[in-house]
Amino acid sequence: MTDKPILRALKGETLPTPPIWMMRQAGRYLPEYRATRAQAGDFLSLCYNSELAAEVTLQPIRRYGFDAAILFADILLLPQALGPKLWFETGEGPRMETTTTPAELAALRPDEEIHETLAPVYETLRILTRELPRETTLIGFAGAPWTVATYMIAGRGTKDQGPAHALKATDRATFAGLIDKITSATILYLSAQVQAGAEVVKLFDSWAGSLKGQDFTDFALKPTARIIAALKAKHPGLPIIAFPREAGDRYIGFARASGADCVAVDNSVSPEWAAENVQKDGCVQGNLAPDLLVSGGEPLVQGARRVTRAFAGGPHIFNLGHGITPDADPDNVKRMIDAVRGA
C-alpha cells in the first residue's frame, strides 16, 4: 500500500510528520514482552514460536501505534540455519559454534536448506500480514554479512570484533568465503521474508564501524550492494533500509553505492550533519540517542524535536540511533512519539 507513511518516505516523499518506529521496539522494556517471553520459556523458543513471536511484534503497535512493525527474530537465526549450534547464556547473550577453518566453512549447509529451520520465521510474517493494522508497514530484516560473520568467527559478541579481524588478516580466503556464504544465504532468507509478507527489509550491520579503509568497501559496502541488487531483481520496487552503524564519513554516498532506498544513521553523528551529508541522496532513518528514553524529561522532548527539525527538509523516518535498551521507561516512548507528532 503506497499510502502507508513509511512507504511514502522510502519512495522519497517529504512528509509533514515523519513516520516513526524503533529498533528493538518489541523487547524487555515492555512488561507484556517479559510476560510472553516467560511463557515461551527462553529467547530462542520465543523466536521459533510463530504465534508468540507475532504477539510480541504486535505489542508495541497496540501500545503506541507505531507506523511500522519489525519482525521479531534474531540475526543469528540465519547462521544457525546454516548448521552451527546456537544458544543463549542468561545475562551474557548468544553463544555459537565457531566457523574459522576451510573445513568448517565447507561443512555449512547449502543455502537452499535454510528454509526448513527458518520456516517458523516465515509463518510469523504470514500471521502479521493478517493481524497488523492496515496502515502499519511490516519490516523484515537480517544481519549484514560482516556483522553475522563476527559472531560466527568469535562464537559470541565481542567489543572490538577482534577474532573476525584476525581471521581476515591471517586467512583471508576463508574469511572472504564466509562473507560470500552469508551473503548468498541472506539473499534467499530475505527473499523468503518478502514472499511471506514483508513490505520492507532492513540490513543491520551493527559492527560496520570497525571496518576501515578498503575493508569497509569490501566487506560492508559490497556485500550489502550485492544483496540489495539481487533482492530488487527478484522483487522490483522492494524498499530496502541499510544500517552500517558507526560508519561516520562512510555514511556519505552509501545509499548511492549500495542501492539502498534509505540509510539508517546512529547517534554518533548529529542529525544536522546527517541531513546535510546523507539526506541529499534520499531517505534517512534515525537518530535519537536511546539513553534519552531512560532519562526522559525535557531533554527527551527537545532531542526528539531536534531530530525531527533537522530532517524536515527531506524524506525521513524517525527512529533511534540504535535499539531501545531494556532499562528504558515505556512512558518515555509515548513522550517521544508525542514530541515527534506534535501532540
Active site residues per annotation: 24, 28, 37, 74, 151
Rounded to the nearest 5°, which phi and psi values hold at 126?
-65, -40
Residue 94 and residue 151 in contact, taking contact as beta carbons nearer than 8 Å? yes
CA of residue 247 relative to chain centroid, distance: 15
Q: Grid cell 520465521 — which residue?
A: 121
Give the C-alpha separation, 34 to 52, whole Å.
Answer: 12
Side-by-side strand order, sheet with 283-288:
68-70, 137-143, 200-205, 240-244, 262-264, 283-288, 316-320
- CA-to-CA separations, 124 to 57, 119, 138, 157, in angstroms, rounded: 9, 9, 11, 26
Residue 329 and residue 298 in contact, taking contact as beta carbons nearer than 8 Å? no
Residue 115 and residue 188 in contact, taking contact as beta carbons nearer than 8 Å? yes
Beta bridge partners of 122: none
DSSP string, 225-263: HHHHHHHHHHSTT--EEEEETT-GGGGTTHHHHH--SEE
Listed in sequence order, the residues at least 6 apart from 316 whose beta carbon sits closer than 8 Å to its beta carbon are 9, 14, 15, 18, 279, 283, 284, 285, 308
DSSP string, 191-205: HHHHHHT-SEEEEEE
Judged on CB neighbours under 10 Å (0-12, 13-18, 19+), 331 is exposed
Residue 214 and residue 199 in contact, taking contact as beta carbons nearer than 8 Å? no
Give the C-alpha separation, 20 to 17, whole Å.
Answer: 9
